[in-house]
Amino acid sequence: MSVQTVKEYLKEFGKDSLVKEFTVSSATVELAAKALDVEPARIAKTMSFHGNETNGCILVVTAGDTKIDNGKFKKQFGFKAKMLGANEVSMLTGHEIGGVCPFANPEHVTTFLDISLKRFDTVFPAAGSSNSAVEVTCDELTKLSKAAEWIDVCKTPELL
């Protein structure tokens, strides 16, 4: 998939014009924050994990300044967090590393949003490429990502 695929997907919601494309990479939290001139915490990073028999792939969208808490993850999902390997990311999510986002994903992918994002009025998830992003509110992110639910699976910044 590409940024164009995400734009087409967001067009259904009248949000395609919000996609920002950069001449520089936004593939990491730090690079995205620099490209957008915002604090890294406001970057909504999308992390991809192996799922179970119900969900082939799980995406967890978190604030840029957090890390997955393995104990919380296991309590939430009933199994240990295991990130997708580099060769699996594109195959299972439809997006390349650096552009994995909560939009326009295959049906076997289930998206969850971590409560660490709720600290902000707006956040910036990727938009399908390693040089794109879209600014959305948490309510918009819920709707646009078709998220299953808001969860608490991260270590808060003060605990890192």
Residue 61 φ then ψ, to 5°: -100, 120
- Mean pLDDT over 60-80 rounds to 96
Domains and CATH numbers, the chain: 3-159 (3.90.960.10)
Distance of CA 86 to the CA centre of its chain: 16
Contact (CB, 8 A) for 60 and 68: yes
Distance of CA 116 to the CA centre of its chain: 12
- Mean pLDDT over 124-133 rounds to 96
State pLDDT tens for residues 33-59: 999 999 999 999 999 999 887 667 999
What per-residue confidence (pLDDT) applies to 53?
Answer: 72
